[in-house]
Amino acid sequence: MNIVVCLKQVPDTTEIKIDPVKGTLIREGVPSIMNPDDKGGLELALRLKDQFGANVTVISMGPPQADVMLREAYAMGADRAILLSDRKFAGADTLATSYALSGLCRVLDYDLIIAGRQAIDGDTAQVGPELAEHLGLPQITYVVDAKLQDNGKLLVHKENEDSTQVLEVEGKCLLTVLASAFEPRYMSVSGIMEAYNKEVEVWSADKIDVEETKLGLAGSPTKVFQSFPKAMKAPGELHEVSEEEAVELIVAKLKEKHII
């Protein structure tokens, strides 16, 4: 089985702080990490590899710095790493990003594509389903379990708000997975050693199966009109008082707002 796993390198958004004076994002010193849901996807691929044998190819689109993340994937157990990196991809929204990734997938031999549900910097959850659509593949999103059955079909658990659906899928497909369901393995020491001797293949746009007009900013239907730090609401009252007084303050406020 050939499995392709989509990875994105993201800033660790839990480490981002707002400059209290200027109201802008402080990005300096924020570490870049492998997007957590994507890491869950890699873990699922490696579990399938452990159980049934598979070739796991990790792919990413991004700047050359993403090399570090792809070596981490090698150290976890990936077999091949490809980084799509080209100025022609710059300014891509989810549709243009998924299109570029589809162009890469088309020249690879795959049975299964795994992506994370969403990336923590954008939180859109769109690239996975859009990639599936570009490739004409069936998709299952919000995956918390996937097993290969004896009949060769995948049995997949999808987590919804109010239920879990058990789904069976025939043939090639794309899954998007939740990090919480696939605790990722640690990099092995030998894996880390080997990761630095392995090659991360860097591919430009002319190596993949795409029309250039559909790439990057030009291929993106959505445009950022403006971005701004979130408006802070005016601070309310803050009291540092005895417990008895605190209780009375709360009761008074609940009465004032007609809660009680």
Partner 1 sequence: MDKKDYKNVFVFAEQREGVIQPVAFELLGKARDLADVLGEKVVAMFLGCGIKDQAQILIEMGADEVIVADCPELKDYLSEQYSQAVYQIIEQRKPGIVLYGATTIGRDMAPRLACRLRAGLTADCTKLEVCPAKEEGFMDLHSTRPAFGGNLMATIVCPNTRPQMSTVRPGVMQKRERDPQRQGTVTDFQPKFDTSKFKVRLVETIRADKSVADISEAKILVSGGRGVHDKEGFGKLQALADQLGGQVASSRAMVDNGVMPHECQVGQTGKTVRPNLYMACGISGAIQHLAGMEESDLIIAINKDKYAPIFSVADLGIVGDLHKIVPMLTERLKREMAQ
- Pick out residues in 196-225 that bind partner 1 (CB under 8 A): 220-225
**Residues 10-49 contacting partner 1, CB under 8 A:** 11, 13-14, 16, 18, 25
Near partner 1 by CB under 8 A: residue from 40, 116, 128, 191: 128
Residue span 161-200 as binding mask against partner 1, x where in contact by CB under 8 A, dash where not? xxxxxxxxxxx-x------x--------------------
Tokens 């007084």, residue located = 245
Which residue number, 155 or 187, has a Cβ lying nearer to partner 1? 155
Judge contact between 176 and 189, C-beta under 8 A: no
CA 112 to chain centre: 17
Query: Does 111 engage in binding with partner 1 (CB under 8 A)?
Result: no
Near partner 1 by CB under 8 A: residue from 93, 184, 200, 216: 93
- Do the bridges between strand 2-6 and strand 112-116 make them parallel or antiparallel, or are there none, so unpaired? parallel
In whole angstroms, give the CA distance from residue 234 to residue 160.
Answer: 36
Query: Does 140 engage in binding with partner 1 (CB under 8 A)?
Result: yes
Which residue number, 74 or 142, has a Cβ lying nearer to partner 1? 142
Judge contact between 8 and 32, C-beta under 8 A: no
In whole angstroms, give the CA distance from residue 175 to residue 38.
Answer: 11
